[in-house]
Structure 1
Amino acid sequence: MEALLVEGELPANLHGRFLQSVPHPAHGTEPVSITGVRLAGGTAAWHRARTDFSLLGTVPTLAPAVRDGLRVARPAQDPRTGEWHTIATRPGSPLAEHVTMSAAGAVRRGRCFVLSGPARIDTVALTADHVVVLDLSVEHDRATELIGLRAPCTWRPGKQARIGLLPRRSRGNPLWFPVSPCFVPETVNAYEDGPEVVLDAVRHTSPTGPRELTRWTLDPSTGTASEERLLSADSAVVADPERGRRHHTVYAVRGTAVSRHDPHTSTTHDFGPGHRLGQPATAGEWLIVPFHDSTSSNLAVFDAADLASGPRSVVRLPVTVPVATRTTWQPLLEPVRA
């Protein structure tokens, strides 16, 4: 592995791989290539994941959005069992399939259900008892596909957007909750609060509108969903230990700034004009943010509790890569030498 230039000091207890899924120039806008950085022992090295053509590949959370004619939503992992859950759809069809896989990505079972139309589903969320399904305002458009557009999808503001709760342990169909027109490219977290389910996700309310971190509270007893806008955000994450549970802290990217929000405080670091930020990832007590400046692609490592002090270190990547919208952190079980 190629050693990388580090400005500042990498935390000695940071041992793992920061991976990102980025578009390949020959394959349009779909993420098909995984690159990243191994951080261990206070050093950084360039890492490139090997290619795997199974449904989810070698890194399930960075699975290709399109594989063998299917659109595969970014899967969610059960932190207790390690199982992965995703929704697969075929362009132009209202049929969807809930696919369950092992921790290694091997398909275990699948079951079909019907959407309101050929919806585009980019992401799912998971609670202890449900898979959260997003049947929203963007649909696959067969006509635009036939004329060769790379993103053959159409915004349907007149279509009833809805969020579904698909039971994980029975063969029932989703229980649907109508919501206002929107599209969700990224879920942040979901959890059960008594009989209700709470979903936080980044949404668009129009094709050209800004992204917002939104909270829906789904009440199965009434079949209704309440909606609350939390903040403007291009992307957002919670720490891994809080996934599937009531979370207290959200890390969000908006424009050139990354911020930390909890019930009592909000802190921000702004990279400044000319910077572009990708999806952050939490790594224990650290927050890793991919960013581009005028000359290079980089990773910034922050103390997750103290963003205002700026990055503790910056890793300079050996090549320029597109801004990553799918990232993940994989801890190493044991520290390794570079």
Structure 2
Amino acid sequence: MATQFLEDNFAPVGREHTSTRLEVTGHIPEYLDGRYLRNGPNPPAGTDPETYHWFLGDGMVHGVRLRGGRAEWYRNRWIRTPHLAGVLGEREAAASTGPGANTNVIGHAGRTLALIEGGLPQWELTEELDTIGPCDFDGTLPGGYTAHPKRDPRTGELHAVSYRFGLGNRVQYSVIGTDGRARRTVDIEVTGAPMMHDFSLTERYVVFYDLPVTFAPDQTPVAVGAPDPLRAMAGRGVSALPYRWNPRYPARVGVTPREGDNGDVRWFDVEPCYVFHPLNAHDAGDRVVLDVVRHPKMFDRELHGPEEGTPTLDRWTVDLSAGKVLEDRLDEHGQEFPRVDERLVGRQHRYGYAVAAGNGFSGSGALYKHDLAKGSASTLSFGAGRLPGEFVFIPSHVDAAEDEGVLMGFVFDAATHRSELALLDAATLETVATVHLPDRVPHGFHGNWVPSV
């Protein structure tokens, strides 16, 4: 049985590149000194399409180094778990411990970290993207992390909410300091065992999305009681994700003060749905404003990837005094991978960026720039057969305006069967520069600009 998540530009690439002669069209701004990195699934040959789930392909990080107005290199590297290194013939094969971290890649405390969720290991990489080994933040945060930490722009600390099967009806809120060590962890009780992919952070609060996609051992081919379903399934060659839409599970959001504990969480009902990615959140007096990409449901009928209806940009306003949530639609067009100026994480924002999408994450060749002050959106179409991934914003200087800088992301061109790194003027969406890559970058997940230190 074929799955679209192994076809066209979802299909993995089979080669790692180190390219130091990159063709550039346009002019790369001199202020860009760092690496654009992006992570995504790239399973090796022999993957079974009947059991493959897009979220569980072995991780591969792609990166472009920019400095002095030049593109110095492009590299792509698999995350070298012991099992994958054996599959690639580089060492004796080891038992699988699940997919290598395939969801996000960040820089923090001098480390380059490839991230995943669900209790699987995080992996540290070199500057050139070779694998160093698992990372548990110097032993201060064992048992897994998340794909979506949020950096407090004031302190530089990483805030995160992690879930895993072994925690049962709990998720863990953590704060990692600028020294790369966890300074605080708090267990938060939830309804059951949700797939809590992301969370929101404001200047005052942490927000939890306890939504009806939950662990479902009776619907997946894994022995009940296995200590870690993802690892057990991967070890047996089974890749189906063990989480399903659960219409009996209450949909709600939880709000707690940053320095609160489990007893301080207040829960608020919302209409059943699923949220992979919030755009941003901020405080507004006795209200908490949440801008989210809302899916009507997830993993109900489509079990190979996210294809369960049109994801829209919505605003949820949590009224702490009235004890309820007001749900509004900001934009009805399908979209995913929302991003904001990282200097405004947890603070009121005007602009947000997202990739146009059909059902789930299927790209449709356009990028949206939302002006939330005006209630309008600008659209950039990349043309026939040209599909963008997630774009991130990089300011032109420390005190730059919210859209004064560039947007950066990979674009796949079906005509040439290659990808490019596109740099756009964030104010106008006009192309500033294009870095032409030697191969294609498969559709994947998240990335970030990691500036040089």
Q: Distance in 2 between matches of 1:136 and 1:51?
A: 30
- Structure 1 residue 37 and structure 2 residue 64: aligned? yes
Q: Distance in 1 between matches of 2:173 and 2:191?
A: 16
Structure 1 segment 85-104 matched on structure 2, within 5 A = 85-91=159-165, 93-104=168-179
**Bigger Cα displacement from structure 2, 178-187 vs 98-107:** 98-107
Alignment-derived partner of residue 266 in structure 1: 377
- Structure 1 residue 331 and structure 2 residue 437: aligned? no
**Bigger Cα displacement from structure 2, 262-271 vs 175-184:** 262-271
Tell me if structure 1 keeps the 8 A contact 2:205–2:256. yes
Q: Tell me how far 1:206 sits from its aligned partner.
A: 2.4
Alignment-derived partner of residue 336 in structure 1: none
Alignment-derived partner of residue 282 in structure 1: 393
Q: Distance in 1 between matches of 2:145 and 2:246?
A: 19
Alignment-derived partner of residue 278 in structure 2: 187
Alignment-derived partner of residue 318 in structure 2: 218
- AA aligned opposite 1:146: P
Q: Distance in 1 between matches of 2:282 and 2:344?
A: 9
Query: In structure 2, do the counterparts of structure 1 residues 281 and 104 end up closer, same or farther at CA, with 3 Å as the change threshold?
Result: farther
- Structure 1 residue 63 and structure 2 residue 63: aligned? no
1:250 maps to which of 304, 328, 352: 352
Other structure's SS at 2:154 match: coil
Count of equivalent residues: 331
Structure 1 segment 1-338 matched on structure 2, within 5 A = 2-26=20-44, 29-30=55-56, 32-44=59-71, 45-47=73-75, 59=107, 63-66=115-118, 67-68=120-121, 70=144, 72-91=146-165, 93-147=168-222, 148-171=238-261, 172-207=263-298, 208-231=308-331, 232=333, 233-254=335-356, 255-262=364-371, 263-264=373-374, 266-284=377-395, 285-294=405-414, 295-307=417-429, 309=430, 311-333=431-453
Pick the structure with greater CA Rg. 2
- AA aligned opposite 1:161: A
Q: Distance in 1 between matches of 2:247 and 2:145?
A: 22
Q: What per-residue deviation string (whole Å, max 9, x for no partner) do you get for residues 224-244 of structure 1?
A: 011111113222211122221
Q: Distance in 1 between matches of 2:278 and 2:114?
A: 14
Which structure shows the bigger proportion of residues in strand conformation? 1
- AA aligned opposite 1:260: K
Other structure's SS at 2:383 match: coil
Q: Tell me how far 1:283 sits from its aligned partner.
A: 0.9
Tell me if structure 1 keeps the 8 A contact 2:105–2:447. no
Query: In structure 2, do the counterparts of structure 1 residues 251 and 57 end up closer, same or farther at CA, with 3 Å as the change threshold?
Result: closer
Query: In structure 2, do the counterparts of structure 1 residues 278 and 62 end up closer, same or farther at CA, with 3 Å as the change threshold?
Result: farther
> Where do 5+ consecutive residues of structure 1 fail to align?
334-338
Other structure's SS at 2:343 match: helix
Query: In structure 2, do the counterparts of structure 1 residues 20 and 73 end up closer, same or farther at CA, with 3 Å as the change threshold?
Result: closer
Query: In structure 2, do the counterparts of structure 1 residues 201 and 37 end up closer, same or farther at CA, with 3 Å as the change threshold?
Result: same
**Bigger Cα displacement from structure 2, 202-211 vs 147-156:** 147-156
Tell me if structure 1 keeps the 8 A contact 2:39–2:59. yes
Tell me if structure 1 keeps the 8 A contact 2:176–2:183. yes
> Where do 5+ consecutive residues of structure 2 fail to align?
1-17, 48-52, 82-100, 122-142, 223-237, 299-307, 357-363, 396-404
Q: Tell me how far 1:48 sits from its aligned partner.
A: 5.6
Q: Distance in 2 between matches of 1:270 and 1:17?
A: 25
Other structure's SS at 2:159 match: strand
Tell me if structure 2 keeps the 8 A contact 1:139–1:156. yes
Q: Tell me how far 1:96 sits from its aligned partner.
A: 1.4
- AA aligned opposite 2:370: H
Q: Tell me how far 1:318 sits from its aligned partner.
A: 2.8
Q: Tell me how far 1:326 sits from its aligned partner.
A: 0.8
Other structure's SS at 1:221 match: coil
Other structure's SS at 1:4 match: coil
The alignment-based identity, stated in percent, is 32
Q: Tell me how far 1:191 sits from its aligned partner.
A: 0.8
Other structure's SS at 1:287 match: strand
Q: Distance in 1 between matches of 2:423 and 2:278?
A: 23
Give the structure-2-normalised TM-score: 0.67
Query: In structure 2, do the counterparts of structure 1 residues 98 and 276 end up closer, same or farther at CA, with 3 Å as the change threshold?
Result: same
- AA aligned opposite 1:228: D
Alignment-derived partner of residue 361 in structure 2: none
- AA aligned opposite 2:426: A
Give the structure-1-normalised TM-score: 0.89
Tell me if structure 2 keeps the 8 A contact 1:13–1:41. yes
Alignment-derived partner of residue 301 in structure 2: none
Q: Tell me how far 1:58 sits from its aligned partner.
A: 6.2
Tell me if structure 1 keeps the 8 A contact 2:106–2:448. no
Aligned-residue RMSD, C-alpha: 2.7
Tell me if structure 2 keeps the 8 A contact 1:191–1:197. yes
